[in-house]
Amino acid sequence: MKPNPVTKAVAVALIQVLIVSSLGAKLLYDRRTRPQAWFKTERFDPNLPIRGRYVSLQIEVNDPRSPEEVNKKFRDELQAIENQHAQFGYVSNSDFGQECGSIVVRDGRPIAQFDQSANGECDNLTFVRRNTASGMKLQLTEPSLFFIPDTAQDPRAEFQGDELWVLATIPRQGPPRPIALGVKKTGEKDIQPLSLD
């Protein structure tokens, strides 16, 4: 006896519900069991044809190496950037020192833990360094999306000039998963969580 179309449809719907539920359960489990940390972020406007209500964040991670160690390790790349700036007569933010690794939390701070994977073939995360006017930054190459309610004001517009931070869960694999946004005002040490209801 062949199953009727209604039975097939119900079976497919149940399978889809189970798939979505298992993903939700995994995310909740990670949120309860995996470490969490505040990450300093940069806001930027994503170049996507279809945009929902979200903030795209470039997450910054602490580099375990000193600036002197980084300069020594990536001396050739930095010299090439310097030569390019001298040749064209301008200074811009430049990316260099791409490495693979993961994120660990030490004393409440998220720190990059590098591995020996070849550049471009990272098993987990890819980090890149950026020389800016305010100093050297280590960032994840993959942006994190923080979805906000339809009625919330976009924090990029409201908090210009202040530092934007994101509280995120650090999974075993993949980029941090944002939970909440916060702002650190100029001259202050504490991060003030934002209410985006």
pLDDT in tens, the chain (197 residues): 566 777 777 777 788 887 877 766 776 777 778 888 899 887 665 555 555 677 788 899 999 999 899 989 999 988 888 887 777 766 666 788 899 999 999 988 999 999 887 666 888 999 999 877 777 899 999 888 887 777 776 665 555 668 889 999 999 888 999 988 888 887 788 888 887 76
Looking at the structure, do residues 22 and 86 belong to the same domain, yes or no?
no
Same-domain check for residues 67 and 130: yes
pLDDT of residue 139: 93
For residues 156 and 164, what is the distance between their CA atoms, to the nearest angstrom? Answer: 8
Q: Is 124 exposed, middle or buried (0-12, 13-18, 19+ CB in 10 A)?
A: middle
Residues 25 and 48 in one domain: no
128 to 70, 90, 171: CA distances (angstroms): 12, 22, 20
If asked whether residues 14 and 103 sit together in one domain, one would say no
Do 80 and 173 lie in one domain? The reply is: yes
Residue 27 sits in the same domain as residue 40: no
Do the beta carbons of residue 167 and residue 90 sit within 8 Å? no
- Contact indicator for 67, 81 with CB cutoff of 8 Å: no
20 shares its domain with 91: no
Q: Which residues contact 52 (CB under 8 A, 6 or more apart)?
A: 147
17 & 109 share domain: no
Residue 159: its pLDDT value, please?
Answer: 59
How many whole angstroms separate alpha carbon 109 and alpha carbon 107?
A: 6
Residue-range definition of the domain harbouring residue 130: 35-193
One domain for residues 161 and 182: yes
